[in-house]
Structure 1
């Protein structure tokens, strides 16, 4: 198949977009060039539409096994495909947690059976994600797991963290860290600011995150291991990562999520304290939002990930204080970034690597770009069309989006994973 007349947007060969044809054969990219002329090959005219490498979302919760009433491999990956995402890294806080090789093998078997896109699976750093005993890093690596995280929580024992770093130095696996000092965060639903104080509530201070970034970053740097800080939300954390990157080049990476770039605690207040705007860490202030954007623009923050965390309507209906943390976001990852880029006048050559090449490099996979011989993961987009986020337009089993009711720019028309059509708008 030849995709003809589209505008190829690739972070390496065409960061600003270039009119090129893309020839796909046997699930891989065969050729990228102007006006490819080849007989006996099906052509698809997509004149004026943009072709991106399939997006890479390095932080999602697929909820399988154990919580399939919220989401499962089929619904989550269908939602991902509808958002142009062709590779995800799933977190291990399932029921039971993915904390041993047998469970890793089981969940990968489920992915092969039910997922329509590429699923990478992280495994827990501690047994049962209890923060008490390290998992068998070596055995997990031998089984194929190259990413470790206790996401959803954070190891609080500094001695255990140092022991984990010593082990990671030998295995070379990536440590994906949910930075949180539990003693300071205390599971509070809002940022410790004017909105929480108006309600008479204690909130989560920035230091609950930034202190954890400093502690984990220093330990990782001391041991010489790679650590990736996920879903950063505060200006203090940006400053901490900036400093750690200077001290330990090549070891420190980080991401933030679209809701931290588009929303603040004021949006929580204006929504009437909508539980669908409750996530951990919480939405903070305009200063934090601007610092996160500045961090992305100057390279302090490497990428953007959704932190896709489905919960049912019933679970979220108990009010913001008692509702579980988390929002869905894998389907809106791309469109939220396009919306941000239009508001802030950010060129595609700047933001495209945040959801393609950069997360792929951090994960150690050859994705997020176009080149002959590469797997044909790509998405076709109408960038000039907007769409409304609603229960009817979301493909996840749960609809707890922070963007419900908003119009986002950039509509995915079709997504190919391994050269196979896995999503087409209207079907």
Structure 2
């Protein structure tokens, strides 16, 4: 189906929305992006992009390896009490399997720049709450409307049957601090510190100039979904006061943490409805434990554009897109949810057994843990036969 004369509206200028805009424009579509925020402010958060998404970005003509990023050499899984390394997973062992870490603002800036250079119109300060049955937005008719408006998607909640999310019993505290001599060990590797009912993830950003911190705790209740709740640094410090250095010292550097309640979303029955289709977190919101939310959105964008080009009509293309993407995205969504408490063993005897097993596995079969997620990272959407 030729896209040259298609007018496509994308709701949301996040990673998924901008990537979809670029993918569709590349095939000749007329693309307009609507973003409710007045401006895209710098979001203080890191994001990890694995090889499966990098391949899709490169195929779209983008150059993610040239954007500001960090390239970790390994993930160290560490004990919370002593800080000792329990197990190591090597990363970036092959140029064919890049694993990159970005400041979210840098990634958005790169995608925004690519989109505007491609001639894509982006309108900020436009909250789209009304879409007519024939595809009109603000008086303009569109052949296709892509809902990429995130975890709290108004498009999803208005035009699709969705169930209310449930609180997972976990809260993630996020912050970025400047690197210094005390945090030197974090400037080239990712660290995961494992403790009772909690874990802390630390990794470098911007070539090691900054350090991204995600501290996850279990709690009984939370006020609402979203990652824009300003947290109390004293509460954060108290939660992890028994943790050994370097974690406790690093957390003391945080003065404006963001607390993010993590919610589980049941899979949707449908992603497409007439001329409206969902993408990324709008279609399959994910908890962050395997760092695939943005990666799945990027894969979605590639497949949506590919199916629109290769199918004879819109309905057929949207159905094919949903069929191709739903199984994989749902599996990743469920895997992320199950991974949330892997690091949280509270029983000291069980934790000792678990850590000993991880140590032995790391020595005897160092790639075993990395291969556990091969089905995610080795996937190449551009060669998957779709």
TM over 0.5: no
TM class, shorter-length: under 0.3
User: When the two structures are superposed, what TM-score results if normalisation uses the length of structure 1?
Assistant: 0.25
User: When the two structures are superposed, what TM-score results if normalisation uses the length of structure 2?
Assistant: 0.26
